[in-house]
Each structure stands twice: as C-alpha cells, then as structure tokens.
C-alpha cells in the first residue's frame, strides 16, 4: 500500500493546501485518485458541517468565495455526485493534475505512487469571453 501527497497549487506552483491520502494501491488511475480525493473531502465536510467546503470542484447549490465554496444552510454533499462532477471537470480542463513530473492527460492514465507519490491539482480559470 502507498500514500499520496495531494497538493492544490496556483498556476505559478505556489501551494494552497496539501494533505496525505493514505492506504492507496501502488498504482492507481487518475479517475480513481480523483474519486477517492473528492470522497474524502466530502466525508470531512459532512462530518464537520462547516458552512465552507474546501474541495476540488464546486458542489451543486454552493457559492464560490475566495475562502472556498459557501454551502447553503446545513446542506450535506453527495460524495458520489461530487466525484462524478470532479471527473467531468477534469475532462473539461477545469483543472490539471501533475504526477511524477508530468501532466496527467486522461482519466485512465496510471499514476505510480511508489516512492512517496505527490500529485498536484491546479484549477484553471476560464478566460473572459472564452
């Protein structure tokens, strides 16, 4: 079993946040890693019931703020729906993943987590009018 250091970064490579996702297989697809990451984020949020969700993609009904996604009332997030939305966002180039010194191009690309695999997630900002 392996673990992955997951890092959210800016386009310039500045770390926004990072955490370790433990108990992963040595090799995992990008799709599996995204789904596990998002389910862990949702589980943390649903357990704490904070009003701000700090996750990879915006949940349905949430408002984006500089501090994260503000959830209405005491809303819970559906982990499966959020994982599906994250995979769709990857396919639409809403964020990129970097692993092993390369950009992950496809959800079915394997990621090798041996040797302390670190995976960076970089949200892309759409251009105005484009």
What pLDDT, in 10s, does the model give residues 97-126? 999 889 999 999 999 998 777 999 999 876
Res 125: pLDDT: 73
In a domain, residue 79? The reply is: yes
Res 129: pLDDT: 53
In a domain, residue 128? The reply is: no
Other C-beta atoms closer than 10 Å to the C-beta of 59 total 20
pLDDT of residue 59 exceeding 80: yes
Structural domain boundaries, residue 58: 2-123
Res 34: pLDDT: 97
In a domain, residue 65? The reply is: yes
pTM score: 0.91
In a domain, residue 129? The reply is: no
Average pLDDT, the chain: 91
Res 127: pLDDT: 55
115-118: long-range contacts (C-beta < 8 A, 24 or more apart)? 116/3, 116/5, 117/2, 117/3, 117/4, 117/5, 118/4, 118/5, 118/6, 118/7
CATH of the domain at 18: 3.10.20
Total structural domains within the chain: 1
């Amino acid at each position: 079993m392996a673990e992955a250091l997951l890092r959210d970064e800016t386009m310039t490579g500045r770390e926004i946040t990072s955490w370790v996702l433990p108990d992963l297989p040595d090799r995992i697809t990008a799709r599996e890693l995204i789904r596990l990451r998002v389910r862990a984020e949702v589980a943390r949020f649903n357990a704490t019931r904070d009003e701000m969700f700090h996750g990879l993609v915006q949940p349905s009904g949430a408002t984006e703020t500089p501090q994260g996604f503000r959830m209405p009332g005491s809303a819970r997030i559906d982990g499966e729906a959020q994982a599906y939305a994250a995979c769709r966002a990857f396919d639409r180039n809403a964020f990129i993943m970097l692993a092993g010194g390369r950009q992950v191009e496809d959800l079915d690309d394997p990621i090798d987590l041996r040797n302390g695999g670190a995976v960076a997630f970089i949200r892309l900002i759409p251009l105005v009018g484009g």
